[in-house]
Structure 1
Amino acid sequence: MGVSAVVWVLTVLAIVGLLAFDYFFHVRSAHVPTLREAAVWSSLYVGIAIAFGLGTLVIGGTGMGSEYFAGYITEKALSVDNLFVFLIIMTSFRVPRENQQKVLLVGIVISLIARAGFIFLGSALLNTFAWVFYLFGLALLITAGNMLKPQTEESHSAQNVIVRLARRLFPTTENYDEDKLITHQNGRRVMTPMLLVMVAIGGTDLMFALDSIPAIFGLTQNVYVVFTATAFSLLGLRQLYFLLDGLLDRLIYLSFGLAAILAFIGAKLILHALHENNLPFINGGEPIEVMEISTGLSLVVILVVLVITILASLFSTRGRTQTAMANIRRDALAYLDAEYTDDANERERLFARLQESKEHIIALGPKAKQIVKNETELMELCARVIETRQTSTKS
């Protein structure tokens, strides 16, 4: 089904309008969103995406509608996995809690622009060269293999090439100046860490786009569906970050599920490439009659894999323990950092979660305790927080 220029313009304006609304009514005034606020707005954006999908189903037909939902669910799952890396970057740069929303929104805008460029480039390549399906398929299989490697905080670095280059070329401060990107120091204009963390998030988004765009093209080649599914999966990502805070580390099997999904889509792309084959060194340049995987089957596989991996993560003792370990480390360092937040409620939330995580580690059985390799370090962090809290209460 073709989509008119009017529909394209209206869709883009609607997405820009949602981003503008998000900025002026939520992000412009720096604050720490409550769990209720994050849940309400995250649900609203998911509702908008589902409503759009139902409209696509009615107007565009079953095929177009199922392609949209398959693409949206896949991109949303990949976005959740990406949030873990965003969390590491935020922690590395010690971004004040009140300013994290602005960093995330800028990251989403950069990601949308980058993905739009990759989408139209990818579409042009696929329409011109059928063999590009082979490249996309192989790229997804390689990505799937990489996702099976253990991912830890040490696996990712906020100090990526772009950030290191920015630090070398431009003067930067060590401390934040509220949410300013540029400030004055010793009579000259210098960059703040706020700008650097946005650069880090933006650079990371570019790398994510290289994985996610081939994945959705493996489900549909309809550019409008690819664009809208990608855009709606990114909208609401800011709220989801705060909603899943404390649970991201618990999704320990999500990367395995995503690896399985990407491998499945990669295989689907290669089968399609064989069906459209025109490479002279494969079957003499003639198409090969192979089984092609329908979008309906793809949607079922994606949903089943995600449900299994998410439930397995949530009910896993290892997952709960890993969450407790990560929470103690991050919450303790944040609580001890005087610049992290001025919000008293946020400090109370950190302390309460720290205590809960500490009790979980202490209550572990002998076998489960083998997971905790640095219990002494974690307990020392907890003791430092308690001592700081008692000192501040007395004063």
Structure 2
Amino acid sequence: MIDGKLWRETCATDERLALASAAEVSFTACGVDFVFGAGSGAPAFELRAPDAAWQRFFQRVPPPWYQSFFGMLMRVPGAEVRGDELAFAQHAHLVRRVLEIGRTLASGEPEPAAGPLPEAHATTGGYTTVRLDGVPHRVFYEESGTGPDVLFLHTAGADSRQFAYLMNDDRLRANRHMVAFDLPWHGRSAPPPGAAPGTYALTTDRYAETVVALADALGLHRPVVVGASMAGEICLELALRHPERFGGVVACEASDKVPGRQVSWARDPRVDQTLFVPEWVDGLMAPQSPAEYRAEVWWGYSQGGHGTFVGDILFYSGDWDATDRVAGIDTGRCPVVMLTGEYDYSCTAEMSRRTAEKIPGAAFAVMPRLGHFPHAENPPLFVPHLLDALSLIDDRTERLA
């Protein structure tokens, strides 16, 4: 394992940890104790896991589930937080940083540095109005490229900025007209007038209705819908409900049901949501994803509207349950491609595979070195997967014409 003295000394001089100077860190034989408040004595909480799990965790490139302690908590037997779980939630950003330092020391390799991001200026944006239950909603959208329509759907608590680099990719722009939009209550699409903050709650019906209304408002012709996570789930629902309206779906990080992803700390007033929510999702990304893209995903989640992430998760890991319905998708009318990153511990590749096997004619593939946000955490790696999926949908559509 790691030299505890060196680990503590490194943490003591780390610039990011210095922002929380009241935090002290001590270590035990089996895991890590975090002591908050100088001279407090007893640890506020401890992170515990089997020795074999820690050995996997501290590899420079850990295997799936072990890239994050949140992943270990969900998927690795014996991983747990002992003590004050509220303190753990309040300091999740410091926990991650301490463990990152430990991983660097254990591997003997420096942390990957963030590089420059490509320019993303090819999109144009504007607003349109969609009516939901008779109520007008002002919705922001962006578009880029020429060709058949592709509609991108962002993940829970996020917005269409996630697709900036896909929409600037020359290979996609040359052959596709791409549209991405911010759901109401997200990003640049405000809540409807008079809506009380914190009351937002997404349902399967409202989500499907919103996507159809936006496609109609923009005059999109049978667009292929692409989305990950909750957006991957609604892709499957759209293929089931509206096979004539959409030309196909690319459902990423999706399965017929995703249990266990609602978390009380995401709505607890004692927890800073601008820190906890991005930490909750950060570990879902693959460790190989470039630091610069990962940082943008983190920052985007830190800017989510009050209660928006929680309201989306009520759909993602609650209202959405198509266990007994996905078999009814007619891929002859609406082709289905499912893609899942190998590092996604929320919706694992095996969960997606089992769902794809229920859908006659659906295609499925695992995406190596990608996690829960493939379109945003590593766009250059994801684009070839997307191009292959779109090509497959094109081929199937041409055979049916």
TM-score (normalizing by structure 1): 0.22
Query: 1 or 2, which has the higher helix percentage?
Result: 1
Higher relative contact order (CA 8 A, sep 6+): 1
Higher Rg of the two aligned structures = 1
